[in-house]
Amino acid sequence: MISLKALSKNPFKSLLIFSSITIAVMAIFLISSVSQGVIGMYSKMIKTDGDIIITQKGISDTFFSNVDIALIQKIDALQDVASSYAMIVGASPIGHIPIAGIYGTTQNHMSHYKLIKGKYPKAGEVILGANLAKQFATIGVNIGNKRFRISGVFSSDIGFEEGGVVMNIEDAGELFNRSTSFILVTSASPNATEYIVKKIAELSDEVEVKTTQNFVKEYNQFKIIENSSLVISTLAFAMGLMGIASVMSMIVNSRKEEFGIMRALGKSRLFIIKNLFFETLIMSISAYLFALILSLGILAMLPHIEMLQGYVNGTLSLSTALYVFASTIFMALFGSLIPAWIASKTDPILLINQGCA
């Protein structure tokens, strides 16, 4: 009750704390969510279309991987292999767009891209992702030194693909000077996956064969993104924490007289600490909820921002939301209890006199 009254009677100070917590929480939410979204999009792209992935040995990034496409025939001949396809992933300027994803794939994988207009590409043709297609009213696009005819437009749940271009693997191979980036294999039964992995590994010394689950777990780029995100989130968290602690310290200093009066009236240290803690807690929880709503709003808008071409997507998981909630509570505890404890230990009359100073 007293906590609520104190908050409502000091609107500027309350707003200051509320804003600093909101910004800190939003920073953590957005940084974590966007990195999770990037990882989520790429891993979904790999995981949904195969159980096994074959990449060049010793290459940390699929963008630089070069696998002999001829291997696909040997793989298809293996027992329990249901299907396989090859894909080249790359990035290049497309017309006036400075950079976009390019996916070259074998014909048997084309149906993965849901056509909303036109038809699948033949040699010298491309289909554009729905987001990218909004940028082109022409019938052709220049990619590298070559002009491609736009044969259709496709849609995809994966933001990378929505903002990219799909073409035949032969055209992509010419463009990026490689055979294929990786091969994806689907096994006839989940029990056969490990057996197929072993058999494919025996086919060539130059490739690395993994289940897509393991690949996603071990993929260096994901680790880099996750670690970078962790570092940036931790910094945002630390900055938020310091911001809240310094604001709380200013608030406590500006309220020394009030705390001194309370102590003079016989109110205990615990009473003062408890009230200050609840004030911060009320603000932290409301700021957290406000930041959550704002972050969800921003994350929902991201895929529709034309400039980003759907490349930046955010995924806000329950675990992130809970982690950030726990962090916010920690911020409130740390930020309010230490200065309150220091103030509560001071003689009441000194607090009153310091408050007047």
Binding site for another protein (CB under 8 A): 2, 5-6, 8-10, 257-258, 261-269, 347-350, 352
What is the rounded distance in angstroms from the CA atom of residue 186 to the CA atom of residue 195? Answer: 12
* Residue with tokens 């249901």, as numbered in its chain: 82
Q: Phi and psi dihedrals of 69, rounded to 5?
A: -65, -20
Q: Between residues 5 and 122, which has the closer beta carbon with respect to another protein? A: 5
Asked if residues 113 and 156 have their Cβ atoms less than 8 Å apart, the reply is yes
CB of 274 to another protein, least distance (A): 13
Task: Please give the Cα distance from 269 to 221 (Å, whole number).
Answer: 51
- Supply the minimum distance, in Å, between the C-beta of residue 269 and another protein: 8
Minimum CB separation of residue 257 from another protein in Å reads: 7
Q: How far is the CB of 347 from another protein (least distance, A)?
A: 5
Q: Which is nearer to another protein, 47 or 269 (CB)?
A: 269
- Closest distance between another protein and the C-beta of residue 22, in Å? 23
Q: Is the CB of 224 or the CB of 349 nearer to another protein?
A: 349
Q: Is the CB of residue 37 less than 8 Å from the CB of residue 187? A: no
Which lies closer to another protein via its Cβ, residue 162 or residue 279?
279
Nearer to another protein, 8 or 191 (CB): 8
The residue among 350, 103, 317 whose CA lies nearest residue 226 is 317
CB 273 within 8 A of CB 57: no
DSSP string, 229-257: HHHHHHHHHHHHHHHHHHHHHHHHHHTHH
Give, to the nearest 10 degrees, the angle between helix 11-47 and helix 269-301. Answer: 40
